Structure 1
Amino acid sequence: MFFGISVRGLAEPPTNTDPAVGYVGTKTCAQCHEAEHLTYLDTKHSESMERVDPDKEVSSATFHHEASGNDYQVLRRGDDLIHREILRGPDGEELARTEHPIVFTLGSGTHGKSYVYHDGSHFGQSPLSWYQDTGKWAMSPGYDVPFHPGFGRKLSSECFFCHVGDIDRKNGNPNEFSILEEKIGCERCHGPGEKHVARYRENPKFAGADNTIVNPSRLSRELSEAICQQCHLQAAGKAMLANKDEWDYRPGLPLTDFRIDYQYRLGDDTMRVVGHVEQLHMSKCYQQTESLTCITCHNPHQTVPAESTIEHYRKICLSCHTDQSCGEPHAKRVEKAQNDCSQCHMPAQGTEVPHTAFHHHRIGIHSGQATSVEPAVGLSPVLDVAELPGMVRKRCEALAKFQVAQEDPGNPNFRDYGIEAAKALIEVKNAGHADADATTILAMLARSQGQSAIAQDLAREVVASERVPSRPRLESLRLLANLAYQRREFAEAAKYYREVTELQSEPFDYFQLGVSEQNSGNTEQAIESLNKTIELAPQHVSAHRFLAAIYQSRGRGDLAARHSKLAGQHAMRLQQLQVKTQE
């Protein structure tokens, strides 16, 4: 064990895996490692997120989104890049206009970029993305549907994990934080540099074995791949280990000491191979050697010129294979694929992200036919978790099942996941291994099964013990607020919803707070909360109707008529969209 964390595959772990070692930032690293830094700046990893520069963007565009009926605009206003959404009614009249200055671009731009705005306390995603392959603005992944969140999707610290170097979480709140290093930097692969810097400042000529920093090429394959997997392993579901989150991971340690990623298990008890990690692990090339790993082909300090890519990757293949290994004659290989091994053995295939395709990472013979869809019958961990305690594995699988069921509630293959998760978490709790995350999810499951009293007790337990504004505290507060609301104990509901809205900015919470405030006799606070609801979700019909009733009761007929009209127009618009989705 090393600082409470098992370090498999490494006899003497780097000392910077200690959670007490601090980060120093890429600028400090570059002072001594200028050449390495310059090579890194040529790679796409260094462009994972950037502060937006309107001069580099296509800043004049207008298009109509047929599925939702909305209009979208990209424009330049002074030094700001503006993204705008216009909601239109059944007759084409403008019902609402929302716009935000963009602060960051997400993604390297190889396939496209998404965009981030900041509303003063929270980050959010723009519904617009730029797609390099088509050279056009279009809806962001997941938004090309009639009903989408518009500017309503807020981004948590988890969303930024694979794009930024470091963040400062405000008192532990995953929804409110500042970004300390805007790009993926040196320390995301080499670990925090505080000890390394101190060693060489004290002794600039130190020449011995240096265990104050991580060199991925000197790690075991498991630990080296974990550095890549922290971002490139995105399976069907995942669970953080108790009292851990993504940002706790440190290079040189097993990823499974922080989180477990799960993939669907199919009817024949095999795993569905969808991600790059699973695909690579299913390859015979990977299974029959200990040397093949991510950095065999992807050198994070080397950018391969476009004109050299075929020869570069072919040379890697030929380090194990020979030119005679291929069953196709040389002339046919050149004619068919320009003698490019990857075209046949790692073909580009479409993804769930519109307009993009990535190379399949199961190295082998591909038929070109789509894989038949088989029903999922369970979840399996992608990585080896055999060394983790049984209760840890039980807890994490339960959390992953809960997540999968929440994300696809109508899927009959997951209809029993809630019950299965609840049984497992009850066993975990009875064994004395419960934590705030597990207890919160158990409370939510109890609520979903009609056991409100048990749900309330569990949520109160979390709120009493979890003093920092963490996700478990937030979800437990929301659950207590909702239970009080249902009991029509509006003063208590308002108390909880006030804290929820301080921690997270969601229209549902503001609406519930507005109704609770009005029913508690706090009309001014109700109006403020309902207006905030509409600011976040202009199409919120119930908020318009409730405001209309409040203004009517206060003799403000003009405002009452305005919100009543908007409620009717938005209701008709939503009804038409519903009809469209059923056609």
Structure 2
Amino acid sequence: MQSPLARPLPRWMSTAAVVLIVAGVFAWRWPGAAEVPPQTGAADAAGRRYASPDACASCHRSIARSYSLTGMARSFARVQAGTPVLAEIDTGTGLVHAASGRHYTMTVRDGRLFLRRHTLGPDGNPADVVERSADYVIGSGNHARTFLHREADGRLRELPVSWYADRGGYWAMSPGYDRPAHLDFRRVISTDCMSCHNGYPRGPVVDTGSGPRFPEPLPEGIDCQRCHGPGQDHIDAARARDREAARRAIVNPARLGRDRQIEVCLQCHLETTSSPLPFQIRRFDRPPFSYVPGTSLGDYFIHFDHAPGSGREDKFEIVGSATYRLRQSACFQRSAMTCTT
């Protein structure tokens, strides 16, 4: 199976064709049953079992400690009394979004963070008031933090205001919200969003058509198994002092071939376009959270891209451009370097 980057979008594929493909895929996958991701004690399609993320630290203390300081490890957290995020953001201040005419205020009450939105009525007083709790935060805070509200049924909704770390820290509209007709409190977090911003959920994720319902407790941060694959068999072999079995049971990205090694990063760092059309579609027979490092990413996602020679080779977009820039570099083309070189 070729690397995803080796499969450009054919010239003949028009916008209409892409729309039809998307419609067909989603019609096939219209959720009527539970989508069950890997979880603690569960196995992937090859029978490899996932472990509790905390188990890795029992043998790899130094690595676990240093990894815990990275942005990936701090990518997702619960917002509650005593969490560092409440001390690192400015609360009680307001944000006026001129494009939509909405006013937003973040406040803390009883150790919980809330976002309040209102407009101004004809008499100049607050109207159309809505308030939601900020129950989780996406983002380490190195660059930004976006907040999520949890519904009673387990669905997560993105809040329209985010905290940005530069210039001493400030509130502004969340990515994609700085426009008159934004989604406000209506954007439901998808499994695709969760799969790259957090560790794999530890229980079944049910979606009956109105958005995925994530089980509690949610992981807090991307854990070791995102890059090393399911770890329970590795742990069991290590406890049995079977060194060779332990090595075979875990993925060491450094020992993978170049394409498979790069795809460990590309599972989340390949976005071929930021346009409204999808840049990738998960294959219909692959449930969410089922990609395993060391396997072909092309067996999990179908990626769409501009055809070679279409004049779009030098594009610069938000997420996926790093991949293009790396592959265009002289160092990459003249050596065997990868993302981790």
Q: TM-score, normalization: structure 2? A: 0.76
CA distance in structure 1 between the aligned counterparts of 2:232 and 2:199, rounded to whole angstroms: 15
Q: Which amino acid aligns with 1:242?
A: F
Q: Does 1:146 align with 2:162?
A: no
For 1:196, the equivalent position in structure 2 comes to 234
Displacement of 1:155 in angstroms is 0.8
Give the secondary-structure state (helix, strand or coil) at the position aligned to 1:223. helix
1:184 aligns with 2:184: no
Mapped partners of 1:289, 1:89: distance in 2: 63
Give, in angstroms, the shift of residue 93 of structure 1: 3.5
Match of 1:30 in 2: 57
Q: In the alignment, does 2:118 pair up with 1:118?
A: no
Return the alpha-carbon distance in structure 1 between the equivalents of residues 177 and 123 of structure 2: 23
Q: How does 1:2-17 map to 2 (within 5 A)?
A: none
Among 322, 327, 330, the residue aligned to 1:281 = 327
Equivalent pair of 2:238/2:246 in contact (CA under 8 Å) = no
Name the aligned partner's letter for residue 173 of structure 2.
M
Question: Does 1:249 pair with 2:291?
Answer: yes
Q: What are the Cα deviations for residues 113-153 of structure 1, in whole angstroms up to 9, with x where unaligned? A: 11111121210001110111132111111111111111111
Cα distance between partner residues in 2 of 1:293 and 1:187: 20
Specify every segment of 5 or more residues in structure 1 that has no aligned partner in the other structure, as ranges.
1-5, 9-15, 297-583
Report the alpha carbon displacement of residue 58 of structure 1 after superposing the two structures with TM: 2.0
Q: 2-side partners of 1:181 and 1:198: how far apart? A: 22
Q: Could you tell me whether the CA contact under 8 Å between 1:193 and 1:213 is conserved in 2?
A: yes
In 1, are the aligned partners of 2:234 and 2:246 still within 8 Å (CA)?
A: no
Number of residue-to-residue matches in the alignment: 282
Whether contact under 8 Å (1:17, 1:251) holds in the other structure is no
**Aligned partner of residue 48 in structure 2, secondary structure:** coil
Match runs of 1:379-418 below 5 Å: none
1: distance between equivalents of 2:44 and 2:186? 37
**Contact kept in structure 2, 1:156 and 1:176, CA below 8 Å:** no
Once structures 1 and 2 are overlaid, which stretch shifts more, 281-290 or 184-193?
Answer: 281-290
Query: What is the deviation of 1:246?
Result: 4.3
Where do 1:98-113 residues align within 5 Å?
A: 98-113=130-145
Note the C-alpha offset of 1:197: 1.3
Map 1:265-344; keep pairs closer than 5 Å: 265=307, 268=310, 271-274=313-316, 275-290=321-336, 292-296=337-341
Q: 2:48 is matched with which residue? A: 21
Instruction: Kindly report which structure 2 residues correspond to 1:443-458, keeping only aligned pairs within 5 A, or say none.
Output: none
Counterpart-to-counterpart distance in 2, 1:244 and 1:271: 30
CA distance in 2 between partners of 1:231 and 1:20 (Å):
24
State the 1:295 CA deviation.
0.7
Q: Is the 8 A contact 1:266 1:272 kept in 2?
A: no
**Displacement, 1:245?**
4.0
1:59 alignment partner, SS class? coil
Matched, 1:258 2:300: yes
Tell me the SS of whatever aligns to 1:47.
Answer: coil
Instruction: Deviation per CA, 1:38-78: give whole Å up to 9, x if none.
Output: 11012111111111232343222112211111111010111
Match of 2:204 in 1: 169
Q: Secondary structure at the match of 1:125?
A: strand
Would you tell me which structure has more helix in proportion to its own residues?
1
Equivalent residue number for residue 341 of structure 1: none
Partner of 1:95: 127
**Residue 132 (1) aligns with residue 177 (2):** no
Shift of 1:91: 4.8
8 Å Cα contact 1:166/1:182 also seen in 2? no
Q: After superposition, give the CA deviation of every residue in 1:65-110 in whole Å (9 maximum; x if it has no partner).
A: 1111111101011110111111223553332111111111111212
CA 1:66–1:23: 2 relative to 1, 3 Å: same
Equivalent residues of 2:2, 2:298 under 8 A apart: no
Q: Alpha carbons of 1:209 and 1:69: their partners in 2 closer, same or farther (altered >3 Å)?
A: closer
Q: CA deviation at 1:267?
A: 6.5
Output aligned runs, 1:503-514, within 5 Å: none
Tell me the residue number matched to 2:251.
214
Once residues 149 and 284 of structure 1 are traced to their aligned partners in structure 2, the CA distance between those partners, rounded to angstroms, is 42
Distance 1:127 1:209, change over 3 A: closer
Work out the CA distance in 1 between the residues paired with 2:137 and 2:129: 22
Partner of 2:29: none
Match of residue 157, structure 1, among 191, 211, 214: 191
Q: How far apart are residue 271 of structure 1 and its match?
A: 3.3
Percent identity between matched residues is 32
Matched to 2:127, the amino acid is L
Contact 2:94 2:103 in 1 (8 A): yes
Name the counterpart of 1:437: none
Residue in structure 2 matched with residue 364 of structure 1 by the alignment: none
Q: Partner of 1:235: helix, strand, or coil? A: coil
Structure 1 pair 118–277 and aligned structure 2 pair: CA distance change class (3 A): same
* Structure 1 residues 239 and 271: alpha-carbon distance in aligned structure 2, compared to 1, 3 A threshold: farther
Amino acid aligned to 1:141: P
Contact 2:260 2:294 in 1 (8 A): yes
Provide the secondary structure at the position in 2 that maps to 1:161: helix
Note if contact 2:234-2:245 (Cα within 8 Å) is conserved in structure 1.
no
Preserved CA contact (<8 Å) 1:158 1:246:
yes
Q: Deviations over 1:443-500 (max 9, x none)?
A: xxxxxxxxxxxxxxxxxxxxxxxxxxxxxxxxxxxxxxxxxxxxxxxxxxxxxxxxxx
Distance 1:270 1:73, change over 3 A: closer
Q: Output the amino acid matched with 1:293.
A: T
TM-aligned CA distance change 1:160 to 1:131, over 3 Å: same
Length-normalised TM-score, structure 1: 0.46
Letter in 2 for 1:95: A
CA distances 1:330-367 after superposition (whole Å, capped 9, x unpaired): xxxxxxxxxxxxxxxxxxxxxxxxxxxxxxxxxxxxxx
State the AA in 2 paired with 1:194: Q
**Residue 240 (1) aligns with residue 240 (2):** no
Q: Residue 22 and residue 208 in structure 1: after superposition, are their counterparts in 2 closer, same or farther (change >3 A)?
A: closer
